Amino acid sequence: MTEISSALIEQLKSVIEICKANPDILHHKDLAFFKQYIMSLGGKIPSMRTDTSGDVPRTETNAKPPSESAADIGESEESDIELDNTGVVEPDRDDAQPMGDPDKEVSEDDVEKSNAKKRDAIAAFGAGEFQKAIDIYTEAILLNPGSALLHAKRGQCYLKLNKPNACIRDCSRALQINPDNALAYKFRGRAHRLLGHWEEAAQDLRNACKIDFDEQADEWLKEVTPNARKLEEHRRKYERKRAEKDMKEKLERARRAREEHAKAAAAAAAASAGSGGADESGAPGMGDFYKFLNDPEILTAFQDPEVAAAFQDISTNPANIIKYQNNPKIAAIITKLATKFGGGSGLGGLGGGFPGFPGSFPGNFSSGESPRAPSDDVGLD
C-alpha cells in the first residue's frame, strides 16, 4: 500500500472539515470533480429536500451559490427554485465494482478471452438477465481493463438495475480511457438524470450527441433540458448579482482611497508649513489657511486629488502658484480662499496677501499677467 504523508493527510482533514461546516460548497463548479467522485462511491450530496410521502414528484433545490446570502440578493427574491424531479431514484450504495488493474499488460490471449466474455454478456443483456451480464462483463474487464467499451456496456447494465452511481463509476472510467466515448457520456448522462443531477446530465448528453448523434440520447437530453436551464439561469442570475456587488465594492474602495489621499495631502501640506505660527516675514502660517477647510465647499474641493496635489505643491513653494494661473479649477479655489482671508476680491493681485504665501503678488492673476515670486523681504499689506 502506498504511504501517505502526514501533510497530505492534514490537508485532506481540512478539506473534510470545510465540507462539513458548509456542505453547499460541494456544489461549486470548481469542485464538480470531487462531487462526482463522492457520488461514484455511493455518497449523497445534500442538495435536495425530498418528499417522504412516496415517490419524489417535486422538490425544492437550493441552487444558491455558497458564497451568497439572502441579504446579498435581496429578501424579495426567491433563493430556491422548484424542479420537476419525477423519476428521480434513491442513490445506490453498493460497494464499488471491480475495475481491473489499469497497469496490467494485456496479452492477445487476454483480448480474445475478453471478447468471448463480451459476446456472452451481450447475450445475457438481450435476455434481460442484467445481473448476469454484469458478472460476465466484470470477468471481461479483469482480462482487459483498458477497454472503454466494456466499462460503458457494464454501466448500461447497472442503469437497467437502477444503480446510477455504479453506472457513473463505470462510465467515468471509460472516459478516462477514451474521452471521446459517446456511449459512456450517454449512459452517465442518464445516470445523472436518475439522481436528479440535471446540469451534469445535460452536459453529458450534449457531449454524447455531439460525438455521435443518437436518437435516444437526444430524447433524454430534451427531458433534462428544462430543469437544467432553470438551474443554469439561476446560477447566471447570482453570478450577475455577485459581479454587481463586486463592482460596488470596488467603487466604494476607490472613493475611500480618494478621500484618504486628499486628507493625507492636506495633512502633509499643513505639516510642511509648520504649526501655523507666523513665518520670518510676519505672515500667518499655513495653519491659518487650513482652518478654512471647515468650509464644506472647500473640503469637497480638496477631496479632488488634483486640487489636493496642487495646494501641496503651493504650500511647499508659494512661487509655484504661477503654475496654476490658467487652471480654472485651481484658480477658483484660490479666489475663494483669497476672498475668505479678506485679502481682496478675486485673484486680481491677491491684494492683502495670502496666508502662507509671504508678501503680495503684484500683477493681475486673472488677466494672465505673471505674478512676481514672493520673497522674504516683502510683508503683508
Question: What pLDDT digit, counting tens, does each position of 124-173 carry?
Answer: 999 999 999 999 999 999 999 999 999 999 999 999 999 999 999 999 99
Which residues contact residue 5 at a Cβ distance below 8 angstroms, ignoring those fewer than 6 apart?
none
Flag whether pLDDT at 311 surpasses 70: yes
CA distance 74 to 190: 36
CA distance 353 to 359: 6
Q: Which of the four pLDDT bands, split at 50, 70 and 90, describes residue 123?
A: very high
| pLDDT tens, residue by residue, 165-196 | 999 999 999 999 999 999 999 999 999 999 99
Higher pLDDT, 218 or 72: 218
pLDDT at 263: 81
pLDDT at 349: 39
- CA-to-CA separations, 355 to 48, 232, 285, 290, in angstroms, rounded: 72, 65, 6, 10
Residue with cell 434481460: 128
- CA-to-CA separations, 155 to 27, 213, 216, in angstroms, rounded: 24, 19, 16
| pLDDT tens, residue by residue, 290-306 | 555 556 777 777 778 88
pLDDT at 375: 41
Q: Which of the four pLDDT bands, split at 50, 70 and 90, describes residue 242?
A: confident
Q: Which of the four pLDDT bands, split at 50, 70 and 90, describes residue 233?
A: confident
Q: Which domains does the chain have, with CATH numbers?
A: 15-45+57-69+77-250 (1.25.40.10), 273-381 (no CATH)
- CA-to-CA separations, 366 to 124, 335, 347, in angstroms, rounded: 101, 9, 6
Higher pLDDT, 159 or 255: 159
Flag whether pLDDT at 359 surpasses 80: no
Per the confidence metrics, is the pTM higher than 0.75? no
| Average pLDDT over the chain, rounded to an integer | 75
**For residues 250-271, average pLDDT:** 82
Residue 74's region, left for phi above 0, alpha for psi from -120 to 50, else beta, is: left
pLDDT at 312: 81
The three grid cell numbers given for residue 119, joined into one nine-digit string? 459476446
Least confident of 50-59, 168-177, 212-221, 335-344: 50-59
Nearest to 358 by CA among 306, 301, 307, 317: 317
Q: Which of the four pLDDT bands, split at 50, 70 and 90, describes residue 341?
A: low
First to last CA, the chain: 95
Residue 354 CB-density burial (10 A; 0-12 exposed, 13-18 middle, 19+ buried): buried
CA atoms within 13 A on the CB side of 335: 15
